[in-house]
Amino acid sequence: MNRINLSKNIIKSSFLSKEGHIASSFSILDFLIVLYDEVLKEEDDFVLSKGHASLGLYAVLLEKKAITEEDFFSFASFNSILGGHPSSKKIPTVKISTGSLGHGLPFSVGVSLAKKIKNKNGKTFCLIGDGEANEGTTWESALIASSYSLDSLICIMDFNKSGERAIKLNSAVDKFKYFGWDKCLSVEDGHNQKDILACLRDCLESKGPCFIQLNTTKGKGCRPMENNPEWHHKSPASEEEMATLISSLY
């Protein structure tokens, strides 16, 4: 998958709908590309806990032909299957509807525990945000996952520092280690696809729950958006602004 092409589609869809979290979607694109191109198998599950970054997921699903162009560019319209947060009732490949932060990891713990009880194959990948780690359910889930040695669970944090203005998380790797997770890894450049793939493959051999901190840049790949709080929930206001954003992609 080509990152710039995915980014173009995200910007266009957001412009048409006047909705979407573009910058949050851009910070997870490299992970999604690696996951869907190189790692995810039929027996695996993926949970996008930070559901507001749905446009990133939808752009990948479009590329994989899991949804149509008509679906994608109808984003957030009244009859669209694609809402601001992904719905499991409308999109067959979505495991759980997410949106309210802090729910994806507890759900993923349940899925992983069910796999262990039923002796089923497959990994459960859960992508959370750093701001979401302020939710107590994140740490309750971390404790449960280690207590039950959930070796099918891989939690990935999009550490784009969105939550730093509220509560500084610092090293999430250390915190998950303290909760007894089997492997706790960090990708210094959370947009380096080779390094992301290497960490994910390492986690596939884990004997317990595995955590990966991706040190990312919010709005990555679009210079006007990078680390710019103005773009947290903003869409291009005009065709000219959309064209400017697209021309700035790299």
How does pLDDT run along the chain (250 residues), one tens digit per residue? Answer: 999 999 999 999 999 999 999 999 999 999 999 999 999 999 999 999 999 999 999 999 999 999 999 999 999 999 999 999 999 999 999 999 998 899 999 999 999 999 999 999 999 999 999 999 999 999 999 999 999 999 999 999 999 998 777 788 888 999 999 999 999 999 999 999 999 999 999 999 899 999 999 999 999 999 999 999 999 999 999 999 999 999 999 9
Instruction: Give every CB contact of residue 37 below 8 A, 6+ residues apart in sequence.
Output: 1
The CA distances from residue 18 to 84, 169, 222, 229, in Å, are: 11, 32, 18, 17
CATH of the domain at 91: 3.40.50.970
Buried b (16+ CB within 10 A) or exposed e, 15-31: bbbebbbbbbbbbbbbb
pLDDT digits (tens, 9 = 90+) for 90-138: 999 999 999 889 999 999 999 999 999 999 999 999 999 999 999 999 9
Q: How far apart are CA 143 and CA 163, in angstroms?
A: 22
The CA distances from residue 112 to 21, 42, 180, in Å, are: 29, 15, 16
Q: How far apart are CA 86 and CA 90, in angstroms?
A: 8
* Calculated CA dihedral for residues 139, 142, 147, 152, nearest 10 degrees: 160
Domain count, the chain: 1
Q: Is 157 helix (H, G, I), strand (E, B) or coil?
A: strand
Backbone angles phi, psi at 127, to 5 degrees: -100, 115
Q: How far apart are CA 91 and CA 49, in angstroms?
A: 15
The CA distances from residue 80 to 6, 19, 30, 68, 192, in Å, are: 20, 13, 26, 11, 33
Asked if residues 61 and 89 have their Cβ atoms less than 8 Å apart, the reply is: no
**Which domain range does residue 42 map to?**
3-247
Other residues' Cβ atoms within 10 Å of the Cβ of residue 167? 11
Other residues' Cβ atoms within 10 Å of the Cβ of residue 70? 8
Residue ranges of alpha helices (H) inside 36-181 are 54-63, 69-72, 104-118, 136-147, 172-178
DSSP tag of 158: E
